[in-house]
Structure 1
């Protein structure tokens, strides 16, 4: 892990096409080659990169008191603080801003994961309470700005806040497109972890409460009742499998993407064309990307009512 840490403090998720795998032993040549790559411009918060290493190294330091582990975790935290935009958002990569990497990225919960780590640092919770105390104040500031960014990026339609998109333009805070099949759209997935993060605010302001309540009302509004998604064998397809959305009594799912101004579920393949049926996009995407799921179910059934009880708000919408 320390060998893979880049000079700027963050970590890559992959080197070229090879995913970083900490279970894979490094030969002397691998180690030397990786250390020589320390200035590579590929540090990211995508796919758990950087946050997972900070967490692991902070825990390892608490168990071993090895100063190298502490330094690695602290440098990772400084990377997060450095990469954050003044408006509180986090890009997917830093300092590589090519393509869509500069966008504020909620996709795959990247930004929220960073804010959760920084909030634990700000609160001096284990395993971060043994790290450099000078990180506490900037971590607290980073979290406050992050919450502000989250509130400002909640998509408002005709005066009503809804949910969040997977990525935003870092200057205008408007919804943005990333990969060809990830158009600007409301997310039935990433919005869940954003709400969970906001529920963790100890003394939520009226603005935070409104954001949570509005998002929960949106989840209720857009749920697809009486449907489920199933994975099936498809011998005729190159992938050998397929995913289908089919009726099922008592089941409820949510789409990954909803049209910004209609709340209509959309399914987009590599041609970037909007379709309203999962079956209309190519099998490679249907089998390789999750376009529907039950992400908000636990929030609605358990976590939101518990949060309401804790903060003393109104009834479940």
Structure 2
């Protein structure tokens, strides 16, 4: 009897420990989607948020997993800009369920590849096969969307316009590649992926890497970095939205270089790509300025109401900063308005775009900070 009660006490303690260590989903990967759903009215969305829409807690794995499956389209992908943490009403659920054949599926704003990751996390904790099945459908969607040259479009099935371009914007490409790498390497969380599918994933990752290396911009003999988007056939930098011009884009390029630096036993091509990008980051850094956000009178446009402004101020003590875009050939920092007109200072950008878009970045500093240890590890010399 004594042993029985001892066992019950230990079980009780174990239960408390498990409760304290409750598994929860990493909701940060869905932040862009949720932020757009709540913050930007999109007529393409089937449902909009209700006032004070309640949310699931990150530990409510089955409820979140069921939401992810509900939002999954018939082709295995997902539409963007919904909050998978939202506790949906029956009417909202019906609307989403009835829209599954509308294949507006995308990788934009951290979509589809994050949903695969989320389902894998939930399957690992619950061992419920339906979440593994949903993840497998999502993996196949990613593989089906890949171009023959290894790149990925922003939307799949393909649509008209710039969304057909190979898209590095907002780290979509990097997110896909990191997901594929996890699937290839992580046999615990992705243990449900069979050998044949894992082999397809590995080949897709290798093709994706080849496309990255082939897309690095050689600007009249100087190898630099990457654009936000590249033509899906020629791999040359290309236009996306009217204010996202063909250019060398340091914000997204930093994420690409970080991905390359994560490769174990990098090839000579990978090493050279990293070295050239690091040289470019050093060449293109801007010193002695910072971008200051200031309160300003409300400015109403067709897109939003801006209550702040952004100005460039001189500051000798400021850390290095980089423009998001650099002009091809001249390598001057460039900016742009919604009319597609390129300008050469932030002050020339209309207020709505000046305050509503990230024209400067500190991302390359993460690469420069990491580079010495990486170079030493792989015996990289100048």
TM-score of the pair, normalised by structure 2: 0.79
Give the corresponding residue for 2:379. Answer: 312
Deviates more, 1:65-74 or 1:20-29: 20-29
Q: Is the 8 A contact 2:220 2:329 kept in 1?
A: no
Deviations 1:34-66 (A, max 9, x none): 111111121100000011111110010000001
Match of 1:298 among 366, 370, 375: 366
Asked if 1:262 is matched to 2:330, the reply is yes
Match of 1:41 among 78, 91, 103: 103
Q: Is the 8 A contact 1:81 1:142 kept in 2?
A: yes
Asked if 1:249 is matched to 2:316, the reply is yes
Asked if 1:81 is matched to 2:143, the reply is yes
Describe the SS at the equivalent of 1:182: coil
Asked if 1:144 is matched to 2:206, the reply is yes
Asked if 1:229 is matched to 2:296, the reply is no
Give the corresponding residue for 2:230. Answer: 168
Query: 1:197, 1:4 → 2: CA distance?
Result: 29
Asked if 1:12 is matched to 2:74, the reply is no
Deviates more, 1:283-292 or 1:157-166: 157-166
Shift of residue 125, structure 1, vs aligned partner:
4.6
Give the corresponding residue for 1:3. Answer: 70
Matched positions, count: 309
Unaligned runs of 5+ residues in structure 2 are: 1-67, 301-305
Shift of residue 237, structure 1, vs aligned partner:
3.3
Q: Is the 8 A contact 1:62 1:130 kept in 2?
A: no
Q: Is the 8 A contact 2:74 2:103 kept in 1?
A: no
Deviations 1:127-165 (A, max 9, x none): 223333322111111111111100111000232210000
1:107-118 equivalence runs, <5 A: 107-118=169-180
Give the corresponding residue for 2:262. Answer: 200
Unaligned runs of 5+ residues in structure 1 are: 14-18
- Aligned-CA RMSD value: 1.2
Match of 1:97 among 144, 156, 159: 159
Give the corresponding residue for 2:282. Answer: 220
Query: 1:195, 1:166 → 2: CA distance?
Result: 14
Describe the SS at the equivalent of 1:249: coil
Deviations 1:196-228 (A, max 9, x none): 111111121111100000000000000011111
Query: 1:127, 1:305 → 2: CA distance?
Result: 32
Q: Is the 8 A contact 2:112 2:138 kept in 1?
A: yes
Q: Is the 8 A contact 1:74 1:132 kept in 2?
A: no
Query: 1:135, 1:250 → 2: CA distance?
Result: 52
Q: Is the 8 A contact 1:5 1:11 kept in 2?
A: yes
Give the corresponding residue for 1:127. Answer: 189
Query: 1:4, 1:242 → 2: CA distance?
Result: 36
Give the corresponding residue for 2:347. Answer: 279
Deviates more, 1:247-256 or 1:183-192: 247-256
Q: Is the 8 A contact 2:174 2:255 kept in 1?
A: yes
TM-score of the pair, normalised by structure 1: 0.95
Query: 1:256, 1:50 → 2: CA distance?
Result: 26
More helix by share: 2
Flag the structure with larger Rg.
2
Deviates more, 1:122-131 or 1:238-247: 122-131
Shift of residue 236, structure 1, vs aligned partner:
5.4
Query: 2:190, 2:129 → 1: CA distance?
Result: 14
